[in-house]
Amino acid sequence: VASAMSVLELHDLHVTYRTDGGSVPAVRGVNLSLDTGDTVGLAGESGCGKSTIAGAVLRLLPKGTEVSGKVLLDGEDVYAMKPGRLRAVRWTSAAIVFQGALHSLNPVRRVGLQIEEAILLHSQQSARSARIRVGELLEKVGLPAGQAERYPHQLSGGQRQRVLIALALACEPKLLIADEPTTALDVMVQAQVLRLLEELQREHGLSLLFITHDLSVLTHTCDRVAVMYAGRIAEIGPVAEVIHRPAHPYTVGLMGSIPAMDEERERLLQIDGAMPRLSAIPAGCAFNPRCPQA
Ligand code: ADP
Ligand code: MG
């Protein structure tokens, strides 16, 4: 049921990768909708299909990948867009911050210039006003304007992640998809970046789809949370409800695996067993083989 207000709607989204080893059904019928200003967390262990959803939204998946169902950005069918329209929509309607900032930035170009280029490519501004905007953006993400002159390797991991967020905000998108934006960072810097996303979200009424394997980072950042398992949403609801009164046994397991601040990251997942191979998903609930209540 389409609503005129929705910034993003996924209707029965299926994504299947084609590999030499056969088909990999990574997303298997996902429905999700974000209204203006909504913040939704997408959680679940590694390999459950979170990044595939992010890639599907802006058609960034490898050639040959099969996508069915509907992806609507502001009511417009992303998979019906002509190439020019798609280019215009990327960055300006929706922007993605991917994990691992170092790889998304060009190592041999100053970071300010990279942001400036994105602005010039996607708007009608003069070079001069674009440069001013770069300074504003860096300030917004808590970096001194002088950092514009630096190369990516001269910045810390947290600073690079801030540059990527500035880059994503450069064209004032309505929707920001943040795919594990804090995973590579230490706990202190992680908290700073989360606070920054929260502020930006409040200030700009941005809709935010926050992807993470770590449920604990969603508690302060998101209104709603969707828990994914083996390509499907196992449970979705207000964050307090999902965390304090989880309905799905998988969510219970995920919650139980949130570590104390000082615990080793390796201990994150304490649910016995592993997610099924996507080429051999059992019938019925895919969590069944690991479910203590099955
Ligand atoms: P997550 O982000 O939740 O860790 P992904 O969306 O990256 O999960 O991956 C979901 C599944 O799709 C995994 O089994 C992964 O191995 C598979 N996959 C991801 N990208 C590709 C690809 N380009 N080709 C084939 N399989 C892929
Ligand atoms: Mg991922």
- pLDDT tens per residue, range 230-275: 999 999 999 989 988 888 988 888 877 655 444 444 444 467 888 9
Ligand nearest to the CA of 52: 1
Sole residue written with tokens 């993605």? 96
> Mutate which of 13, 17, 46, 232 to test ligand 1's pocket (most atoms within 8 Å of Cβ)?
17
The 10s digit of each residue's pLDDT in 94-147 is 999 987 666 678 999 999 999 999 999 888 899 999 999 999 999 988 899 899
The DSSP secondary structure of 155-184, one letter per residue, reads: S-HHHHHHHHHHHHHTT--SEEEEESTTTT
The pTM (predicted TM-score) of the whole model is 0.90
CA-nearest residue, atom 26 of ligand 1: 17
> Mutate which of 10, 18, 51, 275 to test ligand 1's pocket (most atoms within 8 Å of Cβ)?
51
The 10s digit of each residue's pLDDT in 59-101 is 999 999 999 999 999 999 999 999 999 998 998 899 999 876 6
Report the pocket of ligand 1 as residue ranges, CB < 6 Å. Answer: 17, 19, 24, 26, 44, 46-52, 62, 278
> Among 72, 119, 112, 117, which residue's Cα sits nearest to residue 92?
119
Top-confidence residue, 187 or 60: 60
Percent of the chain with pLDDT over 90: 55
